[in-house]
Amino acid sequence: MYMRDFIHLAGTSLVAHRLRTVLTSLGIGVGIAAVVLLTSIGEGVHRYVLSEFTQFGTTLVGINPGRTTTHGTSMGVFGSERPLSIEDAEALKQLSFVEAVVPFVQGNAEVEAGNRRRRTTIYGAGPQMPEALRMRVNSGAFLPDDDPTAPRALAVLGSKLRQELFAYRNPLGKRITIAGNRYRIIGVMEPKGQVLGFDLDDTVYIPAARALELFNRDTLFEIDVMYRSNVRVERVVDGIRRTLMARHGREDFTITTQEQMLDVLGSILNVLTFAVAAIGGISLLVGAIGIVTIMTIAVNERTSEIGLIRALGARQSQILGLFLGEATVLAAIGGLAGLAMGLGVASLLRLVLPELPVHTPWIYVVLAEVLAVVLGIISGILPARRAARLDPVEALRDE
Amino acid sequence: MRLHSGDVSLFAWRALKGYPARTLLMLIAMAIGVAAVVVLTSLGEGARRYVSAEFASLGTNLLIVIPGRSETAGINPSTMMGETPRELTLDDAVSLTRSFSVRRVAPITVGSANVIAQGRQRESVILGSSHELLAIRRWQLAQGQFLPDTDLDLATPVCVIGSKIRNEIFAARRAVGEWLRIGDRRFRVIGVMGSEGRSIGVDVHDTVIIPVASAQQLFNQSSLFRILVEAKSRSAIGPAKQFVVDTLRERHQDEEDVTVITQDGVLATFDRILNALTIAVGGIAAISLGVAGILIMNVMLVAVSQRTAEIGLLKALGATRRQILVLFLIEALLLSTLGAALGLAVGQLGSLAIRYAFPLLPAYAPAWSVSLSIVVAVTTGVLCSLLPARRAARLDPVLALSRR
């Protein structure tokens, strides 16, 4: 049998039952569309979360006070008998691979400027924060490199807070009162938006030592260390651990690397995407059952035709190939239609809900089509084998 | 011609039985859809019930006072952790007891410290609180007694330990009555917590509970992390919240610098989120019902063309269009109902298996999802067979009979 005849035979039977072909393909198509759309949303969310994290840079290590083995986060943030101090942060600056060290304290207080007041988040930070966290100053300057234990009372505003307190006036050089203490504004940050629920624009940055004083605490929330990108993270963690152990006498702190966090997050999100795709895949399974059903019917209908071809000398494997080919083409058409539907809905979603991150990597598109074809072959096997095993004599008599 | 309903169902039944392979496949397709919806929504419902139960175990009629307040409405992560210049103090906590709508008040400080006894040490969570905490959180004691009912500012050197700490540090020996060093202070162990306690936020097994004043000394701070307030009754939650906000504003020089969240509020939020998730997941699974519907339409179309002669005969015998339509619709109805019933059985078995495998997760398929999935399955089946049935009804009896 020639390839041309082969294609002709399979093709004509598909064209002859147009409605049937369309409906069967539609079954697979809906399944593929669901899978493509859901994985696109999953991948979009994945990328969105990763970009939220990596916008601060990837060469970051966070150090928190306190240490627990069972909990994800340490309760030491709220209180610890062995605090992390500003001096600890200073000591870390001595390490050779360290580019920037930022001590962090966070709190909530009322900020007053003229006759406007607003309760907002206060960040106590170090002068190296903009470079370590890749944040940019919009106007003025960030906190200067003062004596870290006795810095001047200077403040930098987040963009939203500046808007709320000063509207369109120039805030630089003005004075604000944070919980009764006066600070001079020396800069305004560029808008950064919400990061994992923390609004980084509705904030004011003051020197860490001042914040500790303001909130009457003796431990920092966190020390962020940015290391040089050509140094291995294990060496960095090791160096930090040795320095702090030398100062504290024991390991009473927790070190988290950005890499670890990204790994954990990435794997969680992958599992989620996979689970959602699997739920969408149920439709695909039903679509595959549709192919099995229709192919079974087709084999029944065309028994005499099969008998004739066999009588003319077609081998079993050729019959098998004929029906398998038909099932595969059905699935492939469905897959293509499904891809079109899925991508269409995805771009529609992008238009209607711009805040929902949707992203379809090309590899998914290819994989979905491959999946459809494979499903077609698998669901074609049973009916095709039945067709191939027909006894030509019996089959011809069927008419 | 008159058709008896018995005849009609028998006709449909025979038609289905005539092609067992194809009927079975369609049943499976329908059943997969229904079963998927039932199992997935039961998972979602299980998660919802689990969270509700967790919240209920927090205590009832609970208000949580958090220091700090953000101008933008609602709770965000930055109010959940963070310091305020004017802290919540023990006196604040005491002042909150002075209302008819408040039953109990427990101040809370949290931190981590080294716990040492008999040469073994462990870094664990230290919870500073008061006598009332046990009743508010509905915890059970395994041995000994809970913190004594004394003034809040009395730093008694006693502690109650979680069962895990007990096992790690005291192993098989008696723990009650022994000394435990927490940081640089010594505490007498007076009780061991029961084993049930695992609730949101704190793992009671791995916690040491000490009087709040002792914790403040240990961590060298005078602020409180939270204040838990239990209202007298459900209806007293509103007045209690108002009272807490008013009292603290008065005490804090007319500045409203605390956030008060109610347990109901938080629970409602979680409920909404999990319900939305359940609906979304169920909806995605329900797409497969649509696919099954397409399959039914397809097969019915084939059946109509295969049974042309039969239809022609029926029509020649005087069957009206409407009767032929009903005949095919009944067949579809029978098919999708059987499929849905099969799917429901498989789905319920599936959720039973989940409950068996994860006893913590009460995975019961909610009634709305069960009924909805059956209704959707049957409606899709019937709707999808409308086109084939109409095609059959419109056949010209003469042409149909002459086909063969």
In this complex, do B290 and A283 lie within 8 Å of one another by their Cβ atoms?
yes
Categorise residue A216: left if φ over 0, alpha if ψ from -120 to 50, beta otherwise: left
Please tell me the predicted confidence (pLDDT) of residue B254: 81
How many Å apart are CA B389 and CA B335, to the nearest integer? 14
Tell me, yes or no, if A356 comes closer than 8 A to chain B by beta carbon: no
Tokens of A202: 């509705």
Under a CB-based contact definition with an 8 Å cutoff, are residues A160 and A202 in contact?
A: yes
How many Å apart are CA A281 and CA B33, to the nearest integer? 11
Q: How far is CA A29 from CA A21, A342, B20, B302, B326, in A?
A: 12, 9, 26, 20, 30
In this complex, do B206 and A180 lie within 8 Å of one another by their Cβ atoms?
no
Shortest alpha-carbon distance between residue B76 and chain A (Å): 6
Choosing from B197, B229, B256, the residue where a domain stops is B256
Residue B228 in this model has a pLDDT that exceeds 50: yes
A99 three-class SS: strand
Test the B interface: residue of A32, A68, A81, A399 with most B CBs within 10 Å: A81
Chain A CA closest to residue B22: A293
Residues of B in contact with A249 (CB under 8 A): none
Domain co-membership, B213 together with B193: yes
| More confidently predicted of A15 and A194 | A15
Residue B73 in this model has a pLDDT that exceeds 50: no
Whether residue B10 is contained in a domain is answered as yes
CA B237 to chain centre: 23
In this complex, do B69 and A119 lie within 8 Å of one another by their Cβ atoms?
yes
Question: DSSP assignment, residue A56?
Answer: T
Please tell me the predicted confidence (pLDDT) of residue A197: 61
Q: Where are the domains of chain A?
A: 3-52+264-397, 82-251
pLDDT band for B74, please (50, 70, 90 cuts): very low
Tell me, yes or no, if A216 comes closer than 8 A to chain B by beta carbon: yes
pLDDT band for B309, please (50, 70, 90 cuts): confident
How many Å apart are CA B116 and CA A81, to the nearest integer? 14
Whether residue B141 is contained in a domain is answered as yes
Of B36, B72, B306, the CB nearest to A202: B72
Shortest alpha-carbon distance between residue A96 and chain B (Å): 31
CA dihedral A384, A390, A392, A398 (to 10 degrees): -100
Residues of A in contact with B123 (CB under 8 A): 66-69, 252
How many Å apart are CA B348 and CA B365, to the nearest integer? 7
CA dihedral B243, B245, B248, B250 (to 10 degrees): -80
Going by C-alpha positions, the residue among A74, A63, A85, A76 that lies closest to residue A213 is A85
Shortest alpha-carbon distance between residue B89 and chain A (Å): 13
Residues of A in contact with B294 (CB under 8 A): 23, 26-27, 30, 290
Of A30, A180, A297, the CB nearest to B291: A30
Of B67, B78, B288, the CB nearest to A121: B78
Domain co-membership, B50 together with B101: no
In this complex, do A20 and B222 lie within 8 Å of one another by their Cβ atoms?
no
- Provide CB contacts within 8 A for A399, sequence distance 6+: A304
Test the A interface: residue of B120, B254, B295, B297 with most A CBs within 10 Å: B295
Question: DSSP assignment, residue A75?
Answer: G
Helix B321-357 and helix B308-316: axis angle, to 10°?
A: 130
Residue A245 in this model has a pLDDT that exceeds 70: yes
Shortest alpha-carbon distance between residue B119 and chain A (Å): 16
Tokens of A381: 């096997």
Of B36, B183, B298, the CB nearest to A81: B183
Residue B78 in this model has a pLDDT that exceeds 70: no
Q: In this complex, how many residue pairs, one in chain A and one in chain B, have their CB atoms less than 8 Å apart?
A: 204
Domain co-membership, B91 together with B230: yes
Categorise residue B61: left if φ over 0, alpha if ψ from -120 to 50, beta otherwise: left
Whether residue B361 is contained in a domain is answered as yes
Which whole number is the average pLDDT over A91-111? 88
How many Å apart are CA B173 and CA B117, to the nearest integer? 12
Domain co-membership, B104 together with B222: yes
**Per-residue pLDDT tens for B138-193?**
788 888 899 998 888 888 999 999 888 888 888 878 888 889 998 888 999 999 98
Average pLDDT, chain B: 84
Of A198, A214, A221, the CB nearest to B85: A214
In this complex, do A108 and B84 lie within 8 Å of one another by their Cβ atoms?
yes
Under a CB-based contact definition with an 8 Å cutoff, are residues A226 and A257 in contact?
A: no
Domain co-membership, B238 together with B90: yes
Which whole number is the average pLDDT over A162-182? 87
Choosing from B256, B282, B301, the residue where a domain stops is B256
Of B113, B290, B291, the CB nearest to A81: B113
Find tokens 């601060």 and name the residue. A56
Please tell me the predicted confidence (pLDDT) of residue A206: 93
**Per-residue pLDDT tens for B230-254?**
998 888 888 899 999 999 888 888 8
Choosing from B232, B256, B280, the residue where a domain stops is B256
Domain co-membership, B299 together with B210: no
**Per-residue pLDDT tens for A326-339?**
888 889 999 999 99
- Write out the residue range of the structural domain in which residue B345 sits: 5-54+268-402
Structurally, how many domains does chain B consist of? 2
Shortest alpha-carbon distance between residue B110 and chain A (Å): 6
Whether residue B296 is contained in a domain is answered as yes
CA B193 to chain centre: 27
Whether residue B61 is contained in a domain is answered as no
Whether residue B190 is contained in a domain is answered as yes
Tokens of B253: 């020089």
ipTM score here? 0.73
Shortest alpha-carbon distance between residue B235 and chain A (Å): 31
Find tokens 């007041």 and name the residue. A117
Q: B115, exposed or middle or buried, with CB in 10 Å at 0-12, 13-18, 19+?
A: buried
Cβ atoms within 10 Å, residue A344: 12
- Provide CB contacts within 8 A for B261, sequence distance 6+: B63, B64, B66, B75
Domain co-membership, B324 together with B190: no
Domain co-membership, B136 together with B230: yes
Tell me, yes or no, if A318 comes closer than 8 A to chain B by beta carbon: no
Tell me, yes or no, if A385 comes closer than 8 A to chain B by beta carbon: no
Please tell me the predicted confidence (pLDDT) of residue B1: 61
